[in-house]
Amino acid sequence: MSMSDPLGDMLTRIRNAIGRKKTKVSTPASRLRARVLDVLKDEGYIRDYSQVDYGNGKSELEIELKYYEGSPVIREISRVSKPGRRVYVSVRSIPQVGNGLGIAILSTPKGVMADHQAREQNVGGEVLCQIF
């Protein structure tokens, strides 16, 4: 089965796992998903993730979700740029998520990074998702 939005699928799996109070969730592996998970780990929204390789070139990413005093660290996670409507921003119009309490993850010419890193490096790009 072909998937039209792999990143949206991963975000939905994370959202569903948080709703069920799961500690781990797995998703098929790709470089974009791994880069987004790198940003989530660096910003402290997930504990860690690891790549599990199966035969025939199949691999999955095991994501360890993070909870603080019983409530999830990720309160809201949403896809911004979708296959039907791509959202690109310049460095001056990078959105503030939750008045700076959340982050937006951007795909820039310098790689996938959080909104504050994109402002520091003075680059814009495609807004992949927002986490609050």
- Give the model's pLDDT for residue 2: 55
pLDDT at 99 over 80: yes
| Three-state secondary-structure class, residue 5 | coil
Angstrom distance (rounded) from CA 48 to CA 39: 11
| Closest of 120, 116, 124, 119 to residue 81, by C-alpha | 124
Beta strands in the chain (DSSP E): 24-28, 46-53, 59-65, 67-68, 71-72, 77-79, 88-89, 103-108, 111-114, 125-131
Q: Which two tokens stand for residue 115?
A: 């909104």
Mean pLDDT of 110-118: 97
- Give the model's pLDDT for residue 44: 96
Interval 54-96: pLDDT, tens: 988 899 999 999 999 999 999 999 999 999 999 999 999 999 9
Strands 125-131 and 103-108: antiparallel
Q: Which CATH architecture has domain 6-131?
A: 2-Layer Sandwich (3.30)
- Give the model's pLDDT for residue 32: 96
Contact 130, 123 (CB under 8 A): no
